[in-house]
Amino acid sequence: MAEAPRERVPVVSALCLLEGDAFRTRDYVLREIRAACSERRQDLVVTPFLPFVQFREGAESEELADLIQVAREHRTYLAVALVEQRKEGGRSHTALLLDRQGRIVGRYRQTHAFPDDDGLVLGDDLPVFQTEVGAIGLSVGSDFYFPEVYWVERMKGAEILVWQHAPERLRQHFEWTPLLKARALDNLAHLVAAGYADPRAYITNSYSGGMPGAPWGRSMILNRIGCPIADTGYDDGAATVGLRLDKRKQNVHQPHYRAENTFFVVSLGERTAFQPLTEAHRPAPRPAYRKRTARIAVGYLPREHMWHDGAVPERMLALIDEAAALQPDLLLLSEMGAHITDETTRRVAGLVSERARRMNAYIVIGGVGDERFDSIARVWDRDGREVFQAPLFWTRGFPELQVFDTDFARIGIHSCGDLYTGEIDRVLTVKGAELILDPSRMWGADGENNELLLRARAAENGCWVACAHWNSSDTGLRSVIVDPYGGVVAASRFQQIGLIATEVDFDDAKVYYAGRKADQPKPGGSGMASYFTGDLPEQKRGWREMVLSRRRPELYGILPAVNEVILKYRSAK
């Protein structure tokens, strides 16, 4: 009888180095690598990006002999990210992957640049490296803010994603928690993130006070569903764990693939709707909106008040009537279970239309299907006309994702399990969506996981997100409105019927940091002044357009395809 394949459990470490002049030396880096290897046998050690270590292209064997030697000495793969002086001139931020013999078996050059990276010679490939440890995809610095990097590497077979970074000049870490989650879960790949810690206590930034904040100090390794399984915890050292690359859970959800640690949804069908991700960036033209501020409202109910075929949802209609007191510009309700195929359901749609006209508001309700699609999000305008439909995508896919212009902003819609396919919201964003609506019947995995993904979609796309969930016994599962920074600005109350609302100024663009602030506080030797760097960047408006204009669509050609990696998750194995 043939033996079962041996489970792969490579031991991986993400180093967290101390930030500061005293620690910007090769000797310090080598000591930390050796310390991690001395504590436990290693299969892969990952350093942060080391901006103080340089080498000339073509002179690696001489100029990186010490790093080559430490990999060989400890018989470990080693991922180091350094400054590479290119033969043709200029410099790149380059990650090198060394094998157990110290040979360079992978080279990745940072492909995506934020303004502070301008002048770098960027790489032109998103390679994946096949090793005995597993298939590895690399990323450096600003790459992290571009989910396409990881989607492409995943479709090329990456099992382990690596992000090597150094402290930004203003340390803004609030968004990192949901984004790290999404980078792993979107790709069902382990994620190894290596950075820096401060020798002093961690404290966040205060831009007006001249405080850049301390480096995060949380080098970590996340599993395939984005849960940290090793974390240095705001400190230097090594996050070390054995990655169970082949471990899967019992799948009771056949024919769907749900054999990971938490419930999630795999998108089925064609992916041609993701073609816009591969096209050159052109700012999406917009009409002259009547206004740019709007009150966005979300209504929430228990499931027993769901709109079903052949029945009149009296409590749902009453909730719409109650919303009139808020004077919303748009009201979102959850995903229903109705189909406009019988007289009663058509009459209810007419009652919704009357209320939209009476309230002078857009009403958006999910889960109102027809003969073609089981679940459609429908939009009624201020005159009560049904003006837009967005079918549920994940169950079958379709050729094009569309957006819709209200009289105040452009909206996009994903429904329920579509949340787990980040490409959907990215396409809507590329097409100009400023507000993404999620009428959802989702209750798995749980409220915490749902909220983290909603926050990630808002943060990575620089847009508002509003989600209507059904009430649940899960105290964390709430209907929410999320701002472009990934912050929840309104949330429903537990197991009550009600409404949440917030005012949105769609011209209040998300900020980013670049250049140099005119007035710099003087660094000191103690207290808060000891954190000052004298190099605080300037706060600027327009994060979203900055990011979209710096995407590299020419590298994303694989995304609309259905390849063997995608098919692997289309049915239970």
| pLDDT tens digits, 160-198 | 999 999 999 999 999 999 999 999 999 999 999 999 999
Asked if 509 and 543 touch (Cβ cutoff 8 Å), the reply is yes
Could you tell me which CATH number the domain at 293-506 has? 3.60.110.10
β-pair type (410-413, 435-439): parallel
Does residue 86 carry a pLDDT above 50? yes
pLDDT band at 118 (very low <50, low <70, confident <90, very high): very high
Average the pLDDT over 379-392 and give the result.
99
For the chain, give the mean pLDDT. 97
Reply yes or no on whether the pLDDT at 401 is more than 60. Answer: yes
Higher pLDDT, 1 or 69: 69
Confidence tier at 573 by pLDDT (50, 70, 90): very low
Residue-level length of the chain: 573
Distance CA 451, CA 444 (A): 11
Q: State yes or no: pLDDT of 223 exceeds 50.
A: yes
Tell me what percent of the chain is helix, strand and coil, each rounded to the nearest 5. Answer: 25, 30, 45
Enter the tokens of residue 208.
């007006």
- Do you find a cis peptide bond into 323, omega within 30 degrees of 0? no
For the whole model, what pTM was predicted? 0.97
Side chain identity at 118, as an amino acid letter?
A: D
Query: Residue 437: which pLDDT band, with cuts at 50, 70 and 90?
Result: very high
Kind of pairing between the strands at 104-109 and 128-130: unpaired
Kindly state the average pLDDT of the residues 449-472.
Answer: 98
Mean pLDDT of 402-414: 99
| Residue 559 neighbours by CB distance under 10 Å | 20
CB 340 within 8 A of CB 398: no
240: amino acid identity, one letter: T
Contact between residue 183 and residue 161 where contact means Cβ atoms under 8 Å apart:
yes
Mean pLDDT over 310-320 rounds to 98
Residue located via tokens 């029945």: 311
Average pLDDT over residues 103-120: 97
Determine the Cα–Cα distance for residues 478 and 468; give it in Å rounded to an integer.
8
Q: List the domain boundaries for the chain.
A: 293-506
Provide the token pair at 377: 């999000």
481-504 burial by CB neighbour count: b if 16+ within 10 A, else e? Answer: bbbbbbebebbbeeeebebbbbeb
Q: Residue 499: helix, strand or coil by DSSP?
A: strand
Dist. CA 79–CA 35, nearest whole Å: 16
Whether residue 471 is predicted with pLDDT greater than 90 in this model: the reply is yes
What is the Cα Rg of the chain in Å? Answer: 25
Q: What is the pLDDT of residue 284?
A: 86
Handedness of CA 39, 134, 64, 195 (dihedral sign): negative
- 22 near 148, Cβ under 8 Å? no
Please state, as a whole number, how many other Cβ atoms lie within 10 Å of the Cβ of residue 173.
17
